Structure 1
Amino acid sequence: MPFQPRVAILVPAPGYYERWQPAFARKAAALTAAGLIVEQRAWTDPGELAGYDLILPLFAWGYQREVAAWYALLDRMEGEGLPVVNPVPVLRWNSDKAYLAELGERGVAVVPTVEVAALDDAALAAARDKLGAEEVVIKPAISGGADGTHRIGPGVPIPADALGERRLVQPLMPGILTEGEYSLFFFAGKFSHAIVKRPASGDFRVQEQFGGREEPWTPGEEALALAAAALAAAPSATVYARVDMVGDAAGRLRIIELELIEPSLFLHHAPDKGAAFGQAVYAAI
């Protein structure tokens, strides 16, 4: 019988809302088809992990709400020398959206971002002035699923959950309202598929829980080159990656986020339904 590696997929803690399960089934099916044995472990209390051939944090949902526990898990996996994909240095780097500044410094076109240590009216005004934008979006530097993300127009007060907190301030990208947000997916560095996600009418958030919808999209050379440049700036090569980008006022694409930890991969939109994903993970063992 051929060797079948065992992989552990880190999943949400019990009691977390169950919307992750259909997506888990798609990813697990792709990994099983590639010849892997797939098991689940709650990321908040995974127990012994040394027996696995690979650990994948593909559903470590909620880490932005339990940041200390998340970083402790990363430290533990790195300290024990466990085989993790994506590698722990990539996971740690990608956990905090301060990486956008690093991408910008390396010449990658990113959504302009101002980091504020403690958001108040003066800091927000200064950020608006620096960005040259009256309508902005604020978000936690460690966030997911649009948690704590707000659109703030002129004269709108700072939401209570953000007041005095560390926040990233970005101009509202007009492209997200007119065209949507683009996501490109790469497995072992090779392009697989892409989608465009559009917000519900009157919203700016493209996530499904806010009424966002997606459809397949064919990226042009600009999008592919931008995604490649962003991934090249990561601490090391990635086995799986989602690159999110939006258009600015001039129609130029800019990186809004790299998803290298627990991205929705939308494998049902992949031409091979996830075969390249499964093969990339198997090859990483």
Structure 2
Amino acid sequence: MNIALITYEDKGAYDSPTVESEDEKLLLFLKGKGLNIEMVIWNDKNINWENYELAILKSPWDYFDLYEEFKTWLNLLEEKNIRLLNPIDVVRWNADKHYLREIESAGLNITPSIFITKGEEINLNIFFEKFITDKLIVKPCISGGAKNTFKVTIDNVEEINQKLRLLIQKEDFIIQPFLPEILENGEWSFIFFNGVYSHTLVKKAKPGDFRVQPAHGGSVHLQNPDKGLIEIAAEYVKLFAKNCLYARVDGTFVNNKFLLMELELIEPFLFLNTSTQNYEHYYNALKAMI
């Protein structure tokens, strides 16, 4: 079986000291297991996709910048009957943060969220009262890597209002209360392969920042959660990440209650380098699925 490990054309926009090693090490590891696999850029016009029976999304980190092109690519794989992991229908669903509404409707906890539709009149001042908070987080519904993500306070709200009034003409946004627990305790990530729990870590922002991504100076701390916490994260996977090679459940704890921030099913960094066993977990899941 010919397998494409999907990446993106690296133009330096998402550089991080942790990035290259995961993709390259995973590729070498899977080749060492005897798999016929190679790295492929998802929108490379020179690729003959009929050469592949299976494609695995690994790091298509620019998909939200090229979303219409990405949707066309998904349609192409579907037309050519090329299996994608994670599945195409799941990827389409997970690309737009409106999916959080469906998760909440299923009875699972999410960070409180209000969605603003493209072209809508916007005044962020009213949301301080709606959420009973003095800080907000605003980001596009189709985004990643903290792109066009703003931390809003009374001091900068008019500045962000002006920026957002331009951005909202192009796409939908989501508004959430800023959770101080992110700064105090970090953002938790529970990682599963084929529905089976693998490992957990906490991401913390650097002093003076709120973004936990390594590309923005965030740090990573391996965790050993108890069974109860793993079971909470597993509920999101059981309901919304069926037949997925990988799933990353991101959230934080507020008053000892887990609130989902994102269910990452397209291009999450998997922090495989935190243990050699993680690569085995990934391979075993992949082997079971193919």
Tell me the TM-score normalised to structure 1 length: 0.91
Whether contact under 8 Å (1:33, 1:278) holds in the other structure is: no
1:249-279 CA-partner distances (Å, limit 9, x unpaired): x232111001111111111113514111012
Written as runs of structure 1 = structure 2, the 5 A alignment for 1:143-182 is: 143-156=143-156, 157-159=158-160, 160-164=162-166, 165=168, 166-182=172-188
SS at 1:81's partner residue?
A: coil
Please list every run of 5 or more consecutive structure 2 residues that lacks an aligned counterpart in the other structure.
Answer: none
Aligned-residue sequence identity (percent) comes to 29
Written as runs of structure 1 = structure 2, the 5 A alignment for 1:7-156 is: 7-17=3-13, 19=16, 20-45=19-44, 47-118=47-118, 122-156=122-156
Matched, 1:187 2:193: yes
User: How far apart, CA to CA, are the structure 2 residues paired with 1:80 and 1:60?
Assistant: 20
User: How far apart, CA to CA, are the structure 1 residues paired with 2:105 and 2:205?
Assistant: 30
Larger deviation: 104-113 or 5-14? 5-14
Deviation, 1:283, is 2.4
* Count of matched residue pairs: 280
Deviation, 1:175, is 1.2
Matched, 1:245 2:241: no
Please list every run of 5 or more consecutive structure 1 residues that lacks an aligned counterpart in the other structure.
Answer: none
Whether contact under 8 Å (2:233, 2:249) holds in the other structure is: yes
SS at 1:138's partner residue?
A: strand
User: How far apart, CA to CA, are the structure 1 residues paired with 2:283 and 2:128?
Assistant: 44
SS at 1:243's partner residue?
A: strand
The structure showing larger relative contact order (alpha-carbon pairs under 8 Å, at least 6 residues apart) is 1
Q: 1:158 to 1:76 in 2, by over 3 A?
A: farther
SS at 2:58's partner residue?
A: coil
User: How far apart, CA to CA, are the structure 1 residues paired with 2:31 and 2:176?
Assistant: 41
SS at 2:174's partner residue?
A: strand
Deviation, 1:75, is 1.5
SS at 1:21's partner residue?
A: helix
SS at 2:84's partner residue?
A: coil
User: How far apart, CA to CA, are the structure 2 residues paired with 1:237 and 1:263?
Assistant: 17
Whether contact under 8 Å (1:90, 1:235) holds in the other structure is: yes
Coordinate RMSD, CA, aligned: 2.0
Whether contact under 8 Å (1:11, 1:61) holds in the other structure is: yes
Tell me the TM-score normalised to structure 2 length: 0.89
User: How far apart, CA to CA, are the structure 2 residues paired with 1:192 and 1:34?
Assistant: 19
